[in-house]
A and B are shown apart, each in its own frame.
Chain A
Amino acid sequence: MSVADRTPPWTSSGTCRIGFRLSRLEDGLDFLNAFVAFANFVMLPAVAYGSQLALGALGVTMIYGILRFSNFAHGDTMAFGAMATILGTWWLQAMGVSLDPFPTALLALPAGIAATAVFVLITDRLVYRFYREQKSAPVILVIVSMGVMFVTNGLVRFVIGVDEQRFADGARFIITAREFKELTGLKEGLAIKSTAMLTVVVAIIVVAILFWFLNRTRTGKSMRAFSDNEDLALLSGINPERVVMFTWIMVAALATVAGVLYGLDKSFKPFNYFQLLLPIFASAIVGGLGNPIGAIAGGFVIAFSEVTITYAFKKVAGYLIPAWEPQGLVQLLSTDYKFAVSFGILIVVLLFRPTGLFRGKAL
């Protein structure tokens, strides 16, 4: 008897010994099916989304740690980086260059990072430096970043328009749901999107480089020193403008990578990047503003909660408790309320642990 055309266990319940044993076996498979469905619809998307959020939150948290303000333009910086990379990708595609099975965007990524770095450095020179020299209150810098957000948003719309752009090419799946089913004989398929896998791998590489840079190199150490105690860092002869420059370059790199990965995994639409601002800030604050490890943890906390709470568990529940046929979707909140999840976690953390899970430098 093949697994695929088995009858549901509650119809063949314990009338004879064989039937009973079969249903026991199927219970085990049901558990596996439930797990695969859970992995396919909750775990994998959450890991990919969490990596994207973590990269975004790292950028926010670095600006906060070193330049000491909340950068509201970060979502749009991500959009700018993604846009620059998309333009590069289109040019490469027009030239006939491809990186099959990987997306061509990976080749264009360095150019995108460079363009974004130039853009944020110009912004810093023209806008932020003035207020740094004035030693303006952080809240003024936040408002200034709002102006930068407007301008960046306008620029992105001006160059690439407001419509959705698809630029992912190369293999779509590492393993499709059908291949997985044929391979394992389970009823549920586990589809691994190549972009999701790529997101995770690239995120791990980027984070590894970042931590190596912060902990091992002279510049990285001077950045951390500057973040911990500005006056002491200045006394020991650290050049603040150099620290700021490196911060912006790294933030540009993080934002571009995050933006491109998000765009590859979902799709590129300028407005979506603006809306990422809330989950990104929630990640950074939940982890503890100014703390890089916290930003990563926060990204995954937010992503997992968002996906878990808005996922309709009907299928999983159907496997786990076959006798229970739920009427609804067994969904805690509809997907339209995903902002409410980041917001709820944010509020809980603010109420009970305002410095974040990893003791950021807030308050």
Chain B
Amino acid sequence: MTLKLRDMTLFLAVLALIAATGFLQSWNVALGILNMGLVSAIMALGVNMQWGYAGLFNIGVMGFLALGGLSTVIISKPPVIEAWDAGGPRVIFALLVGTAAIVAAILAWRRIPVGKARAPALVAILVVGFFVYRWLFDPAVAAIEAVSPARAGNLGGLGLPILIAWPVGALLAAGAAWVVGKTALGLRSDYLAIATLGISEIIIAVLKNEDWLSRGVKNVSGIPRPVPYEIDLQNSERFVERVSGFGFDPVTASTITVKLAYAGLFLAVLLLLLWLAQAALNSPWGRMMRAIRDNEVAAEAMGKDVTARHLQVFILGSAVCGLAGAMMTTLDGQLTPASYQPLRFTFLIWVMVIVGGSGNNFGAVLGGMLIWYLWVMVEPLGVALIGGITAGMPDGFWLKEHLLETAAHMRLLTMGLILLLVLRFSPRGLIPER
């Protein structure tokens, strides 16, 4: 598929909006929007695979993003040796025992013939497994979290390069998607929605509370970067010399260089994914997915394994979300579990996909960048708008104060309105599927 002139114009318009921010405000802000816009575009690609290709309703995007974020900690932070000595192997063994109990329960359910013994056996395995797991797990966690809690209190990571965390994040998310998909796919579409909503809340709860893993609400900061630090650039004589030669301020130039480096990395990943996604969508596999989406019964009659294909695409889409989550945490440089809000990280991605054009990869990318831009800009615009409205009111008037205070919440209202308007008047989005 090639891009039509109209689509190109739309892309150029979004870039022009970002460039306008650069000219009017600052290039740092503009590049910040661009970077997060690129990451958002990848998230939207992932959701588009699930919804656009296959019609699967996943509202647990936040959880998969957070798993990607966790992978950056696991891969790139240096290990905390004392914590490993204190209880690392025991925690891992406990987790293995817990998993083994669940697997044993599933096997027991499958192997034991239907009868009186089956349900009690299942319950017994799970209960015994749970208590053994807790008996192994609790002391080890207490020991780990006691290791200099102000600085560490967790196991740390493997100390590998951060870029490895990106595919690992995708793998983690794919694993979680496999578990959810195995249980909830094949049931009604709303059930998958509720199941994904649930798993994402649980993943966030784990990140917030399992201090040994992610330091919980104490956050993990100082996650290594794939690009140089600003301060190193400013201290490098060659860099200062070169940018001064162009007449730039070294401090501004260093921040912009770092952001450009991120933008280059993200753009490379986005283009690669976009190419793969387009190839997949235009292959026989892509046609099959759309055939299943449009008429499951007919596709099944043609011998397609609908549930297996759904599981496949659900895992693929979630993996892309995990990748995007790892990239986002890399960009932020820290993992803050408390910052994962479903409205921001699940439903906003949905707005991106719907507005951009579900079923069209380019649409998803466009939607991701455009909606992210609006999400950032609506707040100052709203404040300015309210400022204009209330300018005529006397100071200290309660309505004026209240409006000024709440102007920042215009975002959700605007996003909801955009979603509803697009669904009503242009349900196929800005770049429709073709």
- Interface, chain A (partner B; CB < 8 A): 69-70, 72, 127, 130, 138-140, 142-144, 146-155, 157-159, 161-162, 274-275, 277-278, 281-282, 285, 328, 332, 334, 336-337, 339-340, 342-343, 346-347, 350-351, 354, 362-363
Contacts and interface: CB of A to CB of B under 8 A. Distances in A.
B163 interface: no
Interface in B180-218: 183-184, 187-191, 193-195, 197-199, 201-202, 205, 208-209
A139 B354 CA distance: 13
Nearest to B182: A351
Interface string B396-416: 000000000110011111111
In the complex, which of the residues B130, B411, B416, B419 has the most CB atoms of chain A within 10 Å of its own CB atom?
Answer: B416
Contacts of B354: 143
Nearest to B142: A328
B197 A336 contact: no
B239 interface: no
A275 B205 CA distance: 13
B416 A278 contact: no
B202 A127 contact: no
Given A139-B189, A339-B205, 8 more contacts: A138-B190, A139-B57, A142-B193, A149-B416, A154-B413, A157-B409, A162-B409, A362-B188
A150 B198 contact: no
A343 B202 contact: yes
Contact of A343 (B198, B342, B419, B427): B198
A230 B172 CA distance: 45
A278 B194 CA distance: 7
20 contacts: A69-B190, A142-B189, A144-B420, A146-B419, A148-B416, A150-B347, A150-B351, A150-B419, A154-B413, A157-B406, A161-B405, A274-B342, A332-B130, A337-B205, A337-B209, A340-B202, A342-B198, A346-B194, A346-B198, A347-B184
A251 B57 CA distance: 25
Nearest to B346: A146
Contact of B416 (A147, A334, A336, A350): A147
Secondary structure at chain A's binding surface: helix, strand, loop or mixed?
helix
User: Which of under 10, 10 to 19, 20 to 34, or 35 or more describes the interface residues of B?
Assistant: 35 or more
B420 A147 contact: yes
A11 B420 CA distance: 70
B195 A277 contact: no
Given A157-B412, A350-B187, A147 B423 contact: yes
Nearest to B191: A350
Contacts, number: 132
B195 A346 contact: yes
Interface of B: 55, 57, 59, 130, 138, 183-184, 187-191, 193-195, 197-199, 201-202, 205, 208-209, 342-343, 347, 350-351, 354, 405-406, 409-417, 419-420, 423-424, 427
A186 to B, nearest CB: 31
Nearest to B201: A339
A363 B187 contact: yes
A16 B161 CA distance: 72
B189 A127 contact: no
Contact of A277 (B183, B197, B405, B417): B197
A4 B209 CA distance: 38
B183 A150 contact: no
Contacts of B190: 69-70, 138-139, 142
B202 A354 contact: no
In the complex, which of the residues A138, A154, A354 has the most CB atoms of chain B within 10 Å of its own CB atom?
Answer: A154
The list of the 4 closest CB pairs from A to B, nearest first, reads A150-B416, A154-B413, A154-B412, A151-B416
Contacts of A277: 197
Given A158-B409, A274-B343, A337 B423 contact: no
A281 B195 CA distance: 10
B343 A150 contact: yes
A354 B185 CA distance: 12
In the complex, which of the residues B130, B198, B205, B347 has the most CB atoms of chain A within 10 Å of its own CB atom?
Answer: B198
Nearest to B198: A343
Contacts of B412: 150-151, 153-154, 157
Contacts of B59: 72, 146
Given A144-B420, A155-B413, A282 B194 contact: yes
B202 A143 contact: no
A339 to B, nearest CB: 4
Given A157-B406, A337-B209, A363 B188 contact: yes
Given A147-B423, A154-B413, A138 B199 contact: no
Contacts of A140: 423, 427
Contact of B424 (A130, A142, A343, A362): A130
Contacts of B198: 278, 282, 339, 342-343, 346-347
Contacts of B189: 138-139, 142
A285 B195 CA distance: 11
A139 B59 CA distance: 12
A95 B205 CA distance: 43
B191 A142 contact: no
A161 B405 CA distance: 8
Contacts of B347: 146, 149-150
Contacts of A72: 59
A143 B413 contact: no
Nearest to B358: A143
Nearest to B421: A147
Contacts of A130: 424
Nearest to B186: A354
Contacts of A274: 342-343
Contacts of A146: 59, 347, 350, 419
Nearest to A348: B183
B371 to A, nearest CB: 12
A346 B406 CA distance: 37
Contacts of A155: 413
B194 A281 contact: yes
Contacts of B423: 140, 143-144, 147
